[in-house]
Structure 1
Amino acid sequence: MKKILLSAALLMSLISCNKEENSATQETASLSHRGCASHEVLQEQMRQNPELAIKMNEIESFTERAIQEGRLVNGKIQIPVVVNVLYRTTAENISQAQIQSQIDALNKDFNALNSDFSKVPSTFSGVKANVGVSFVLDAVYRKSTTKTSWGTADAMKKSTQGGMNPTSPTTKLNLWVCTIGGGILGYAQFPGGSSSTDGVVIDSKYFGTTGTATYPYNLGRTATHEIGHWMNLRHIWGDATCGNDQVSDTPLHNAANYGVPAYPHYSTCTGTPIEMTMNYMDYTDDRGMYMFSNGQKSRMLAIFATGGARNSFAQP
């Protein structure tokens, strides 16, 4: 059973890790493997603001108590989504249809309506989850730019740096769609960060299921993965060899998995469990990920509960 509460040692290790290069170099980086910068962005935010580590630990303590005491939000949560499109080329100025296809994909994935949900192996059938969170497109804003790529330093979220400020970030999920560069498909801000940069960034080539959405990341799962982070989920391998994702019903993973691993894929961690490679918080191709676990569901719903970091999204 994995601990849910982040230890002080874990927080210190997050802070002390080498910071990610935030420039948009390596434009030709291979995308044969999924690249998510959420963990590295969190490390950098905590390096710049050590008080964030304290706040993150408080969120973890609240999450543990809320789950243990069953103080999770009741009923369905509907999240308004604002999409901010930053484009230099016609291809980057993605269509309304492509944007809607992403909203549709999120609603399927977070409500166990995805057609591949039935592929979850029997080993994990007892923990596969219907999260019960839905998304509705609230607004689309577009801005022409001369930038070829934006990197992961949140420039796209700031009008002073040529980007677009978030709209009502305490009650609306802001998605920025742009060319990130550096082989990064997307990244999210975890609960606890500044509202001025809150939201999720997705590269336009991996957004939605039509238009410019590019195989093997053309089923909208990059946004599903990143919004999982936005709802306080960690990578399933805990960003360390046999690491801790703070969820009790996900198996220990050696590291990230890529492509579409053959089932069963065994871990060499303690107990050699079968890895849940089809979980949205792994690094597999879009067609290789199609489930959240009940433990992940509880963790996500805890942030919307009274006193939770995203409780404002649960208000009528």
Structure 2
Amino acid sequence: MKKILLSTVAALMLFSCQNEQTESSDSNLNISARRACATQEVFEAQLKANPALALKMNEIEAFTAKHSLSNFTGRLVNGKIQIPVVVNVLYRTAAQNISNAQIQSQIDILNKDFNALNSDYNSVPALFSGVKANIGITFVLDQVIRKSTTKTSWGTNDAMKKTAQGGLAPTSPTTKLNIWTCNIGNGILGYAQFPGGSSTTDGVVIDPRYFGLSGAANAPFNLGRTATHEVGHWMNLRHIWGDATCGSDLVADTPTHNEENYGVPAYPHYSTCSGNPVEMTMNYMDYVDDNAMYMFTLGQKNRISAIFTANGARASFAQ
């Protein structure tokens, strides 16, 4: 009887421990150890909901192929395109209500990464040194809007951008970059809307745990590069592997990648695609850890600059 009782107690203790472990892991369920960006999935859902978007995107691609920064005639600030940023903070917990200091740290990172002022810029391997680029776009914090919510996670259906669903509508989306910080869920670090989509949902969404340098930011995504990656999408850059095995990111000077890379890949990392090129794993549009991404290319710069030229998809930002 004593043995049975002891066995029962042991079983209950084991069950209790398992429950505690489950609860503990559940509390961190959405903390990602691998980069996960939902931009392509959101884009495909938008195409399915609005077939006319495909035509608009084809027009943008045709325009992009013919234009570069040399055609730019819009407003410059100190010789650079300057983008006002509105940060919309949707929070349920104190940690999600990120500080102004954390928000400013993210703006500072964007300014460094898009102007080749990041401290790791000179780490670009010699093989790629001839194509590394200073994008030449600056960002200035325009406004921070905060809203308390009871929502535990927001998903990727743009609910955070709609007041009717408890979110915050974008502020002047044709002249200001809107960034929402909220718990997205499902391990998603962030996502963005490509140029050409509806202005009512235009902008970038980032989980506060991967935003900026301080407060709630979590390693290995605590250097603000999630925003750099997502703003790259907002400026019409695709994932470097083209979201397909040996796919195309529509940029001529980036090597063909087998697929996304994670963590901190050893250099050189060779592709098995045609020609076996060395993959540009340190490009901001791959999926590596924050401390392993630190460059854009000249081809990506030309692709970005096209959307800000006269009649470009984001020409209103340069008026």
Give the TM-score normalised by the residue count of structure 2. 0.89
Q: Who is 2:277 aligned against?
A: 273
Q: Supply the AA of the counterpart residue of 1:157.
A: K
Match status 1:226 vs 2:230: yes
- Whole-angstrom CA distance in 2 between matches of 1:279 and 1:36: 15
- Whole-angstrom CA distance in 2 between matches of 1:285 and 1:250: 19
- Whole-angstrom CA distance in 2 between matches of 1:314 and 1:97: 28
Q: Who is 2:169 aligned against?
A: 165
Question: Any idea what the Cα deviations from partners look like across 1:72-129, whole Å, max 9, x if unmatched?
Answer: 4574100000000000000000000000000000000000000000100000000000
Match status 1:206 vs 2:216: no
Q: Who is 1:16 aligned against?
A: none
Q: Who is 2:50 aligned against?
A: 49
Q: Supply the AA of the counterpart residue of 2:254.
A: T
Q: 1:182 aligns with which of 157, 179, 186?
A: 186
Match status 1:245 vs 2:229: no
- Whole-angstrom CA distance in 2 between matches of 1:306 and 1:118: 33
Question: Any idea what the Cα deviations from partners look like across 1:23-61, whole Å, max 9, x if unmatched?
Answer: xx9982562210000000000000000000000000000
Q: Who is 1:191 aligned against?
A: 195
Higher normalized helix content (fraction of residues): 2
Q: Who is 1:135 aligned against?
A: 139
Q: Who is 2:22 aligned against?
A: none
Q: Who is 1:264 aligned against?
A: 268
Q: Who is 1:71 aligned against?
A: 71
Question: Any idea what the Cα deviations from partners look like across 1:186-208, whole Å, max 9, x if unmatched?
Answer: 00000000000000000000000
Deviation, 1:307, is 0.7
SS at match of 1:139: strand
- Whole-angstrom CA distance in 2 between matches of 1:110 and 1:49: 32
Q: Is the 8 A contact 1:150 1:180 kept in 2?
A: yes
- Whole-angstrom CA distance in 1 between matches of 2:180 and 2:123: 31
Distance 1:27 1:187, change over 3 A: farther
Percent identity of paired positions between Structure 1 and Structure 2: 71
Q: Compare CA radii of gyration and give the structure with the larger one.
A: 2
Q: Supply the AA of the counterpart residue of 1:122.
A: A
Q: Who is 1:112 aligned against?
A: 116
SS at match of 2:84: strand
Q: Supply the AA of the counterpart residue of 1:38.
A: T
Q: Is the 8 A contact 1:29 1:182 kept in 2?
A: yes
Alignment: residue pair count:
290
Q: Who is 1:36 aligned against?
A: 37
Q: Which runs of 5+ in 1 are unaligned?
A: 1-24
Deviation, 1:211, is 1.0
SS at match of 1:149: coil
Deviation, 1:70, is 4.6
- Whole-angstrom CA distance in 2 between matches of 1:70 and 1:204: 37
Q: Supply the AA of the counterpart residue of 2:37.
A: C
SS at match of 1:303: helix
Give the TM-score normalised by the residue count of structure 1. 0.90
- Whole-angstrom CA distance in 1 between matches of 2:54 and 2:73: 25
Q: Is the 8 A contact 1:72 1:298 kept in 2?
A: no
Q: Is the 8 A contact 1:73 1:304 kept in 2?
A: no
Q: Is the 8 A contact 1:257 1:282 kept in 2?
A: yes
Match status 1:146 vs 2:150: yes
- Whole-angstrom CA distance in 2 between matches of 1:80 and 1:30: 29
- Which range moves more in the overlay, 262-271 or 71-80? 71-80
Q: Who is 2:125 aligned against?
A: 121
SS at match of 1:92: coil
Distance 1:27 1:196, change over 3 A: farther
Question: Any idea what the Cα deviations from partners look like across 1:255-281, whole Å, max 9, x if unmatched?
Answer: 000001000000000000000000000
Moved segments of 4+, more than 6 Å: none
Q: Who is 2:61 aligned against?
A: 60
Deviation, 1:295, is 0.2
- Whole-angstrom CA distance in 2 between matches of 1:180 and 1:214: 15
- Whole-angstrom CA distance in 2 between matches of 1:152 and 1:27: 19
SS at match of 2:71: coil
Distance 1:73 1:215, change over 3 A: farther
CA RMSD of aligned residues (A): 1.5
